[in-house]
Structure 1
Amino acid sequence: MDHNKSKKSKQGTEMLENVRRICSSLLEVEEIIDGFGHTTFKVKGKSFIMMGENEDGAGLSFKSDRENQEILLQQGRFIKTPYIGQHGWVSTKTGEPIEWDELGELLKEAYLRAAPKRLVKQLLSESY
């Protein structure tokens, strides 16, 4: 990943805008730039989305569990996230087109895995 603290490519900018749109409906989400230059979305200090860019393009990783991780990996559009994949994290394949409706649902699930029960309950009650 590029250690520059800003997105440069059109793809990276569009990806960040889509993720911000998805996260705007979630409660108490914080967007930060970490020490490696990755844009990270957190809820109550727990990361659930990380984004970055390298020479191959923009990439996005999200929190999952091992069971869903295996299902996603079998689809062929996702890879196990380096360094943290053993904890269930999944990444989009760099340079591949993204299906934002599906990814949006996966990112919301990532939020629900990271958020405290109080926020999960509040969000789910607002959705119905």
Structure 2
Amino acid sequence: MISHFHLPLFLLLLPPLQGLEIHDPEEVEYVRSHIRSSAGASVSLRCGSAKPNIFIWGFTKPGTDSNVALAYDYGQGAKVQSQASALGHVQVPANTSGLLIEELRREAGGTYTCQALYDTDGGARVTFYFTRLDVEDD
């Protein structure tokens, strides 16, 4: 499902945007998906079909408004944050923007958000990929 909303662009992406021209900074695309997996399994979460120039992964536990940073790539290689280990073994596979979680923990259930910035010929384009992950007992 793809939907378009208007949102001021004062997101976490602002610092690395220096030098990029955004033609319509208020139009942001939202893509939503839902995955089910089992505790102890591996799951791969996508951040689009093409690797963005910049991306930030966050996690929101059900029942909270808190978004915890998991991984990011500001164009110089992906970095996984230490707090991501509470969800399982988290990594960003080489040359991708996806998030791979192995040895999935029950606590990994929630909403994952990838904020992606694509530098296109028509200017920068921002897309949010939301993935709801349900983790069932194995």
Q: Which has the higher contact order (CA 8 A, sep 6+)?
A: 2
More strand by share: 2
TM-score by length of 1: 0.31
TM-score by length of 2: 0.30
By percentage of residues, which structure has more helix?
A: 1
